[in-house]
Structure 1
Amino acid sequence: MPSDKITITWQSTGGEAQKQEAEALQGPFTAKTGVKFNNVTSLSYISQVQTMVKSGKTVWDVVHTGSYLAKAYCGTLFEKIDMSRMPATQVPEGTTTECSVPGTKFATEFAYNTTAYKGNVPTKINDFFDTKTFPGKRVFYNNPKGILEAALVADGVAPEQLYPLDVDRALKKLGTIKSDIIFAPSYTAFQQNLVDKQATMALGLNGRLHITNESGGTMAPVWDFTSWDYTAWLIPKGAPNAKAAEEAVAFALEPEQLIKFCAMNGLTPVRTDIDLNKIPFTETAKVFNPFLGSDRGRQARQDNTFWAENIAEVTKKWTAWQVG
């Protein structure tokens, strides 16, 4: 089929982020090849992929998803790809699967409202849990990834010894401030809590924190401990345009496209051969980017094997603790 007759259906996160993918990744690919794109979004995308694959009626060609899902479903829900066409040697060890090479990374970091604390300000992750010295509500998106890691480090676990996570210990630590936690049901709600100053501290994604400040927030990062993760673009089993989709993913992972994409949203390329200092991040994005420089505290990569194997059990415990 001529390339200008192909339309790739691309599932992603929606909103501004999907518009940025269309501009930075898809538009240039269309200009180069003639291949067009149809963008879709769904909160239940994994369930939908499962249904498509099981029925043999896959209609999506690319799915933008997190590292642990790429790990958990490689070969079952997602196609294995030709690694010779991907920058597999340009990313950290342990971040690839037979189905994926990571594109961008992001971090769960600690930040505080600069109007709430003067003089004596938070300087370490333990301060998130110290409501006596630093009173006020704490907010995070209602998802345990990144939050449990922060709780354990605050409780004395070394970042390099986090996994396998002691979930019960982490929840016990979070329980010490449970009455002061706001569980945001969405990232939009998370940001609004901070802009409206309903919460004075946050554990949140660096991209969301910089958007918060660009929307009127007055947050500042605390560079003590940060955990990070990454996403990838995968091809569902039985994708109708699998060959073109693989070409599009390889194109998206090239430096030129990644740099343009990350400059738009404050995310960071996983590729180690890209000089981050040459990416035209906004000044606000630079403030919250934990990967710019060596003075931004201790860091740990979220273990995708642990999360792939334990997400159901951890979520069950998280939900029971939250409502208990």
Structure 2
Amino acid sequence: MTLSACGVGGDSGGGSSDQKLTWASTGGQFQEDEKTALQQPFTAKTGTTFTNVSPAEVAQVKTMVTAGKATWDLANMSWIYAGAYCDKLFEKLNDPAIDRSKFPAGTTGDCFVPTYRYANIFSYNADLFPAAKPTTIKDFFDVKKFPGKRVVFDYPKAGLLEAALVADGVPAAQVYPLDLDRAFKKLDTIKSSLVFATSYGQIQQMLVDKQASMTITVSARTIATAKSGANLVPVWDFTTTDIGALLVPKGAPHKDLAEQMLAFVTEPAQATAYAKLTGVAPARTDIDVNAIDYTADQKKYNAFLSDRGTALEQNKQWWIDNTDALTKRYTSWKVG
């Protein structure tokens, strides 16, 4: 695990010895953006100082909590863990300033609220399809008409299963609960054309180098890949959407302050600033995403703007209940 003191305010922010937070996240540009849009304004307002650590892994949280020595106050990691281990590995959120009514239905839990929203976007490299172009999610599964490798992140919750069902004729409103037999049967039809990337960087490189012709991947990586030179065109037919979350590990040394930070992060000013910086969408329903001053690239790959086809929020409770069993099945399917 790498450690770095965040230079947002430092001791000059006026924070006392207990006015500090340890923030675990993914590292890299993503965490730098968190410092700029979220941590710096909180330091300016409260004097709180931050220590940033990476990577944020649930195994580390389990080790700390089991030992009764939690050192992280906030961790940017999947809400699935907060749902599955609420009040065991992660704290319930009780601060009244965290208003769950401000978020889309089905995106909150006792131990998590969304800090931003993103999408799993289907896009293709237009340089590889000079004639006919993909126009629907069915085209992702049509290797005869649209040949080439499909690169996806090696994680069952990356939007592939829902896409398979819709491509096979399931109406979006009836995707959940997932019919896994049907989904894997559909995936079998393109299995030899799928590349399961172990990192988002691998997805980006394969698309830039034209080793893959299309992908389903997260908003931020789609934007970064386009900036790196891949001529990506998004297909706004069917898209799954999801949330990012900051979790409070059980026994966090500054739990109350961490919850104050969570409420602050979701306020309109910070949520809008973070969306503008990264290209994600604010989690709150009272912020007009169409009014945010996105760059041209951010607009091009933003699934939350108007006229972007059908968007389906991934069902939080279904994934919390089924992730462990599905992961085993998914792993066996890949090697089978």
SS at match of 1:109: strand
The SS at the match of 1:79 is coil
Contact 1:87 1:253 in 2 (8 A): no
> What one-letter code is carried by the residue in structure 2 that aligns with 1:127?
D
* CA displacement at 1:89 relative to structure 2: 1.4
Structure 1 counterpart of 2:124, from 101, 105, 112: 112
Aligned residue in 1 for 2:61: 49
Query: Equivalent of 2:140, from 115, 128, 138?
Result: 128
Give the secondary structure class of the aligned counterpart of 1:319.
helix
- Indicate whether 1:257 and 2:278 are aligned: no
RMSD: 1.3
Residue type at the aligned position of 1:156? G
Partner residue in 2 for 1:100: 112
Q: Equivalences for 1:263-282 in 2 at 5 Å?
A: 263-282=276-295
The residue type paired with residue 70 of structure 1 is A
Q: Secondary structure at the match of 2:235?
A: strand
Question: 2:155 is paired with a residue of what secondary structure?
Answer: coil
Q: Do residues 298 (structure 1) and 310 (structure 2) align?
A: yes
In structure 2, C-alpha distance between the alignment counterparts of 1:175 and 1:94, rounded to whole Å: 31
Matched with 1:151 is 164
Residue 192 of structure 1 pairs with residue 205 of structure 2: yes
Summarize deviations over 1:271-301 as a string: whole Å, max 9, x none: 01111122221110110111100x2111211
Alignment of 1:171-182 (within 5 A): 171-182=184-195
Are positions 1:226 and 2:239 aligned together? yes
* Shift in Å, 1:82: 2.4
C-alpha distance in 1, partners of 2:110/2:182? 34
CA distance in 2, matches of 1:64, 1:76: 17
Identity, % of aligned positions: 48
Q: Could you tell me how far 1:69 is from its partner in structure 2?
A: 2.3
Aligned partner (choices 142, 153, 157) of residue 154 of structure 2: 142
Q: Does 1:73 align with 2:85?
A: yes
Q: Any idea what the Cα deviations from partners look like across 1:95-117, whole Å, max 9, x if unmatched?
A: 11122221101111211111111
Long gaps (5+) in structure 1: none
- 2:208–2:230 contact (8 Å) kept in structure 1: yes
What SS does structure 1 have at the residue aligned with 2:96? Answer: helix
* Conserved 8 A contact 2:95-2:259: no
TM-score (norm 2): 0.92
1:73 deviates by 2.0
Match of 1:88 among 93, 100, 105: 100
**What TM-score, normalized to structure 1?**
0.96
Q: In structure 1, the residue corresponding to 2:236 is in which secondary structure?
A: strand
Does structure 2 retain, via aligned residues, the 8 Å contact 1:83–1:98?
no
Quote the Cα distance in structure 2 between the aligned partners of 1:161 and 1:14: 37
Runs of 4+ in structure 1 off by over 6 angstroms are: none
Match of 1:34 among 30, 37, 47: 47
- Deviation by residue 1:186-235 (Cα, 9 ceiling, x = unmatched): 00111111111111111111221111111111000111100111021121
Equivalent residue, structure 2, for 1:8: 21
Match of 1:202, SS state, is: strand
Q: Which residue of 1 aligns with 2:32?
A: 19
Is 1:116–1:200's contact at 8 Å kept on the other side of the alignment?
A: yes
Asked whether the 8 Å contact 2:279–2:294 carries over to 1, the reply is yes
| Counterparts of 1:84 and 1:238, CA distance in 2 | 20
Distance 2:131 2:205 in 1: 26
1:244-294: CA deviations, max 9, x gaps? 11111111111111111111111111101111122221110110111100x
Q: What secondary structure sits across from 1:47 in the alignment? A: helix
